[in-house]
Structure formats: structure tokens, C-alpha cells
Amino acid sequence: MPTYRVNEAGVAKARELIDAGRHDDTTEWSHAAPSAQQENEEIERHGYDGYGAWHLAIDPDAGEETKARYRFPYGDFHKVYRSALIHAKQRAAQNDHLEIERVADELLQRLDTRRG
């Protein structure tokens, strides 16, 4: 099983978006997750660093200029989705990615505190 590491840039961006109120706490992630075309458009606009900032983890074994490098998405390139954070936390827990589970939980708590 691959060992992922926390994507600090992604976590920082998620915190900023949550603090700015740019989040959705009702839409299911299955309805909000970006399509492959939307992902490609994000890469064209902002490069792989910009694309990667929408993910909580990095797979250090994957190539730097690939989508496979970035794991555990939390948003649609516009806002954070509560459902995506729940999904990331559950998937991380199931696969023993403890640090990823921890940051997903921290962001989920931050979002829940923010929304009251």
C-alpha cells in the first residue's frame, strides 16, 4: 500500500477557504466532485501545483506532473465540500493513512465550527 504524506499546501488552502466561508455543507460529494475535464481545465489554468492544492495528500511515488500524485480531493476548484472531507476521513481511516485522517478530521471540525 502506498504511503501518502500530508499536502500542507492543500491543507492550508482548505483552511483559508473554510475561514472565508467558501464551503458547501449539503451537497453530496458524488454530485460535486469535478469531472476529468474540469480537472484538466484546472491544470491548464493553474498548473499541477494549483491542481494539487485541492487535495489533502501527495503520493511521493507518483510522478510530479501527474494527477496520480494528488490524493484525497476536498473541493471542486471553487469551494470546500463537507461531504468530501467526510469521504477523505473515512477512506484514510480504512487504509491506515492516519495523518491524512487527522487533517481531514481537523478541517471537518473547523468547517463545523465555522457554520455554527
Looking at residue 1, its pLDDT comes to 63
How far are the Cα atoms of 14, 32, 66, 73 from residue 55, in angstroms, in the given order? 9, 15, 13, 4
Burial class (CB in 10 A: 0-12, 13-18, 19+), 68: exposed
* CA 45/CA 60 separation, integer angstroms: 23
List of the chain residues with pLDDT < 50: none
Reported as a single tens digit per residue, the pLDDT across 33-50 is 999 999 999 999 999 999
Quick one: pLDDT at residue 116?
74
pLDDT recorded at residue 4: 95
